[in-house]
Chain A
Amino acid sequence: MPEIRKTVYAAFPLTLPVLAGYLFMGAAFGVMLDANGYGPWWALLMSVIIYAGSGQFVAVALLAGTYNPLYAFLLILMVNSRHLFYGISLLERYAGTGWKKPFMIFWLTNETFSIICSSEPPPGVDRGWFMFVISGLHHLYWILGGLIGNILGGLARFNPKGVDFVMTALFVVIFVNQWQGKKNHLPALIGIGAPLAALLLFGPEYFLLPAMCLVAALLGLFRKRLEAESEEPGCE
Chain B
Amino acid sequence: MTDSQAFVTIVAVAAATMLTRFLSFAVFSDRKKTPAFILYLGIVLPYSVIGLLIVYCFKDVSLFTRPYGLPEAAAAALTAVCFCGGKTS
**Contact surface of A with B, Cβ cutoff 8 Å:** 38, 42, 45-46, 49-52, 55-56, 58-59, 62-63, 66-67, 69-70, 72-77, 80-92, 94-95, 101-102, 105-106, 108, 110, 113-114, 117, 164-165, 167-169, 171-178, 182, 187-196, 199, 204, 207-208, 211-212, 215-216, 219-220, 223, 226-227, 230, 233-236
Contacts and interface: CB of A to CB of B under 8 A. Distances in A.
B41 A81 contact: no
Interface string B9-46: 11111111111111111001001001001111111111
B45 A234 contact: yes
A181 to B, nearest CB: 10
Contact of A82 (B5, B8, B14, B52): B52
B65 interface: no
Given A59-B9, A82-B20, A102-B22, 6 more contacts: A62-B9, A85-B49, A101-B25, A199-B55, A212-B52, A234-B43
A212 to B, nearest CB: 7
Nearest to B18: A106
A4 to B, nearest CB: 25
Question: Do most interface residues of chain A lie in helix, strand or loop, or is the interface mixed?
Answer: helix
A87 B55 contact: no
A80 B20 contact: yes
Given A172-B54, A196-B55, A216-B41, A191 B47 contact: yes
A196 B54 CA distance: 10
A174 B80 CA distance: 9
Given A164-B57, A195-B51, A59 B13 contact: yes
